[in-house]
Amino acid sequence: MKNKFNIILIAALLCCSFIQFSCNDEYLTKEPPGVAAGSVLLSQSGAEALLVGAYSTLQGVGRFGGDPATDWTYGSGASDEAYKGSSAGDQTNYNAVERFECLPSNAYMAERWRDCYNGVARANQVLVFLKATQAGSTPMPDARAKTLEAEAKFLRAWFHFKANMVFRNIPYVKTPDELSGMKPEEVPNTDAGWAGIEADLQFAIDNLGATPNNNEPGRATKYAAMAVKANALLHQKKYADAKTLLDGIINSGKYSLVANYYDNYNETTENNKESIFEIQAQTTGTNQSAMLLAGPTMHQAGPAAIGWGFYQPSEVLFESFQVTPEGLPVLDIDKREPLANDMKVLSNAEFHPTDHLLDPRVDWTISRRGIDYLGWGICAGSAWIREQANGGPYMTKKFMHLYANRGLQTNGSGFDNNRNFRAYRLAHILLMRAECAIQDNDLELARTLINQIRTRAKGSQVVMGLCSTYKFDGSPVVVDYTKPAANYKVEPYAAPFASKEEATKAVQMEWTLEFATEGWRFFNLRRWGNISTVLNDYIARDTKFRTFLTGAKFVSPKNEYWPVPQAQLDIQKSLAQDPNHK
């Protein structure tokens, strides 16, 4: 059985094999030692090594302002799902993202630009060397050359799309040959780059197979390219074109929902039958390749005190998981009941968690007082939170490894763990397809698609461990692990949707319940066209709960995108600042 596509380790080994040494008078004509020499790269092994290096950039470098893998800062932290967390004075650039007050000088903007265009440069480097290899004396087989090109173009489109999500207009940078002599630094950012993204993804669709090269997990496939392109099309409201791609994925028969919801997060059930494109992570005794947000988003105190205490879910998000007696979500936020929370309640003071009916996905998403934290123990509330007054009483759960899997974290403390990130899985595709069905006024199809996900949630394992200890004062904690941790219920929609509006609310709510804190929310709100209404309502609600957002305001269209970094404008004269940020 093949191991994960261990990007960093493979790349390091390959690069080491290229080191050349010289101790004679021919040194003037030899490549310098320690360099992956061009003459060596002009071969199939060289091109393959460069491609591995391009894949390695999927995770990015910047843990906060970059992170093009999970989008936790821009996709969730800037939305109503989660706060920066940690302490008030930590990572102040994040504070500006949360309050929609970013200036071009904000270092996060530069990090995101760097991580995206570093990935683009790596992909283009693969294409340049591939072309030279095929024109040289040792070309690779044409079939592999075509699929290798397709993988590189998939990655090039991926990184441009990640730039496109944050910056309104971007330069679409290709190889020198494709630019007809124009230098990369001369490419202007006159539009959103959709044409280039679509073209590169279509090349990948046309030339990649249904399975990854060498069956290595983490490589792009035809269906991964179809998923990304469908998402790009939805952002442009090209529903009919997206529908064709989504149907192709669904009808392929290659993917199915796993029976248990949490199997999409457990380290031991990665690359499963639901996963379409999964960004790989791995740890070994000497190296690690991890999602950048893992350590920062773990608890800083308590038995699982490995992390920094960032990325704390909001009260609005927690209350989104309440359900009716029928097990259905409360679609209108004004009709949701306030749920008990332990804000400003010390761990040694008495607190009873809410007994309201909840969707069970809540406790696989949010770490909260009185509920087991992935086997590490019952969360004690404020004693586990770094600065509750700043970040609230909750923490995220989806990026921390299970206690039972702690032995798999063989590099350091587990701060950089081995948990993959399922960037696209079948559940994404079903909800995208439901949106297209609603546009066609096929509300019954939309209900059927949404219900597939809800039915899976109904049959999934729930968090176990009913805690009857309400003060964490050093006394023994009493837990009955034969009982569910809370009052859970989830049911599919039994009755047809009464209107297109109700169906729209249902699919948008399901995105939250299924994918909360996974970097989708802000971008979805923007493409749905309700971002200003939702986020300003969130600000009004949140300031009653904590004070950080007092005085903040979301203004469209300015705050729908972030400014082009000033440092980039200073060195690349072909770029123009977003007019909304001048």
Give the mean model confidence (pLDDT) for residues 571-575.
95
- Average pLDDT score, the chain: 92
Per-residue pLDDT at 2: 41
Q: Kindly list the distances between the CA atom of residue 321 and the CA atoms of 68, 172, 249, 361, 512, in Å, as whole numbers in the listed order.
A: 27, 40, 29, 8, 9
Q: What percent of the chain has pLDDT over 70?
A: 93
Q: Kindly list the distances between the CA atom of residue 213 and the CA atoms of 128, 207, 272, in Å, as whole numbers in the listed order.
A: 20, 12, 17
Per-residue pLDDT at 72: 97
R_g (Cα) of the chain, nearest Å: 24
| CB neighbour list of residue 230: distance below 8 Å, 6 or more residues apart | 242, 245, 246, 249, 429, 432
The H-assigned helical ranges of 32-106 are 38-41, 44-56, 92-98
Q: Is the pLDDT of residue 528 over 90?
A: yes
Residue 245 in tokens: 């791609």
Residue 520: pLDDT band by 50, 70, 90 thresholds?
Answer: very high
Q: Is the pLDDT of residue 10 over 80?
A: no
Express each pLDDT in 364-390 by its tens digit.
999 999 999 999 999 999 999 999 999
Q: Residues 152, 54: contact at Cβ < 8 Å?
A: yes
d(CA 53, CA 260): 34
Express each pLDDT in 124-167 by its tens digit.
999 999 999 999 999 999 999 999 999 999 999 999 999 999 99
Q: Is the pLDDT of residue 356 over 90?
A: yes
Per-residue pLDDT at 39: 60
Per-residue pLDDT at 224: 98
| CB neighbour list of residue 461: distance below 8 Å, 6 or more residues apart | 260, 261, 262
Residue 28: pLDDT band by 50, 70, 90 thresholds?
Answer: very low
Give the mean model confidence (pLDDT) for residues 429-453.
98
Per-residue pLDDT at 42: 85
Q: Is the pLDDT of residue 284 over 90?
A: no
d(CA 218, CA 277): 7
Give the mean model confidence (pLDDT) for residues 286-300.
91
Per-residue pLDDT at 283: 86
Q: Which position has the higher pLDDT, 332 or 32?
A: 332
Q: Residues 21, 295: contact at Cβ < 8 Å?
A: no
d(CA 478, CA 363): 19
Per-residue pLDDT at 286: 78
Residue located via tokens 């038995």:
303
27-41, 58-72, 427-441, 514-528: lowest mean pLDDT where? 27-41
Residue 405: pLDDT band by 50, 70, 90 thresholds?
Answer: very high
Q: Residues 71, 79: contact at Cβ < 8 Å?
A: no
Q: Is the pLDDT of residue 21 over 50?
A: no
Express each pLDDT in 473-510 by its tens digit.
999 999 999 999 999 999 999 999 999 999 999 999 99
Express each pLDDT in 330-341 by its tens digit.
999 999 999 999
Q: What percent of the chain has pLDDT over 90?
A: 89
Per-residue pLDDT at 40: 62
Q: Which domains does the chain have, with CATH numbers?
A: 7-187+561-581 (1.25.40), 288-519 (1.25.40.390)
Q: Kindly list the distances between the CA atom of residue 186 and the CA atoms of 117, 159, 426, 576, in Å, as whole numbers in the listed order.
A: 14, 19, 39, 12
Give the mean model confidence (pLDDT) for residues 289-309.
94
User: 0.75 cut: is pTM over it?
Assistant: yes
Give the mean model confidence (pLDDT) for residues 439-445.
98
Per-residue pLDDT at 181: 84
Per-residue pLDDT at 16: 37
Residue 6: pLDDT band by 50, 70, 90 thresholds?
Answer: very low
Angle at 292 between CA 56 and CA 214, to 5 degrees: 30
Q: Is the pLDDT of residue 345 over 50?
A: yes
Per-residue pLDDT at 81: 98
H or E, element range at 117: helix 107-135
Per-residue pLDDT at 38: 57
Coil, helix or strand at residue 323: strand
